[in-house]
């Protein structure tokens, strides 16, 4: 074979394990063949059907509700225990340490990345948003963390633990925890 054969440099990219992704579309079947000989019935298995299941919940945020009202008004709210002063970035209306009811407090809108990841796959609900970046945010003077999305970076190589990030809010609130998201500072 000639030395300059381009095929020698770039071997054909062939993947014997390639396969089409399964889809949930198909043909509706209204009847099914049946054998005369009942002794062969076991070979009629398995019959697999599609069963859609859709539910609308009336989901109450309950005692956590003010957090979402805060987001709609560009405020990031946590809670603080009146007895032991423990401060929660993700609100909790009773202190897990001493059991006392906590008070709502406004959190700083700047924090640091405590840890992070970039998701290239995800649950079905979020698959269309991949890749996306998740961060646990730490705030000065606050004892616990907050889970949020980070935008304004391309990949995990652009994110560092300890890096400063700032909260931003959706103008049109969805009343979801994603109404607040974070971007890198400066």
Q: For binding to other proteins (CB under 8 A), which residues are involved?
A: 22, 24, 45-46, 48, 51, 53, 59, 61, 64, 88-90, 92, 96, 114-127, 129, 132, 134-136, 143-149, 155-156, 161, 176-178
- Alpha carbons 142 and 87: distance in angstroms, whole number: 5
> Nearest CA to 113 among 82, 135, 94, 98?
135
Distance in Å, CB of 159 to other proteins, minimum: 9
Q: Which is nearer to other proteins, 125 or 140 (CB)?
A: 125
Q: Which is nearer to other proteins, 8 or 69 (CB)?
A: 69
Distance in Å, CB of 146 to other proteins, minimum: 6
Q: Which is nearer to other proteins, 109 or 117 (CB)?
A: 117
Q: Which is nearer to other proteins, 100 or 126 (CB)?
A: 126
Q: Which is nearer to other proteins, 64 or 110 (CB)?
A: 64
Is the dihedral angle over the CA atoms 61, 63, 64, 66 positive or is it negative?
A: positive
Tokens 């398995």 belong to which residue? Answer: 46
> Nearest CA to 175 among 65, 54, 62?
65
Distance in Å, CB of 182 to other proteins, minimum: 11
Distance in Å, CB of 151 to other proteins, minimum: 12
Distance in Å, CB of 112 to other proteins, minimum: 12
| 59 burial via Cβ count (<10 Å: 0-12, 13-18, 19+) | exposed
């Amino acid at each position: 074979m000639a030395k300059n054969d381009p095929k020698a440099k770039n071997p054909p990219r062939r993947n014997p394990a390639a396969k089409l992704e399964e889809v949930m579309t198909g043909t509706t079947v209204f009847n099914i063949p049946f054998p005369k000989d009942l002794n062969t019935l076991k070979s009629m298995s398995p019959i697999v059907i599609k069963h859609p299941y859709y539910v609308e919940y009336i989901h109450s945020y309950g005692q956590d509700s003010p957090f979402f009202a805060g987001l709609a008004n560009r405020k990031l709210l946590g809670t603080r225990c009146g007895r032991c002063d423990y401060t929660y970035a993700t609100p909790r209306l009773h202190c897990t340490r001493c059991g006392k009811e906590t008070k709502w407090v406004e959190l700083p809108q700047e924090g640091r990345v405590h840890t992070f990841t970039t998701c290239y796959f995800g649950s079905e609900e979020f698959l269309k948003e991949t890749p996306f970046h998740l961060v646990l945010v730490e705030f000065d003077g606050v004892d616990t963390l907050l889970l949020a999305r980070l935008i304004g970076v391309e990949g995990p190589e652009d994110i560092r633990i300890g890096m400063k990030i700032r909260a931003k809010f959706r103008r049109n609130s969805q009343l979801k925890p994603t109404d607040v998201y974070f971007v890198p500072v400066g």
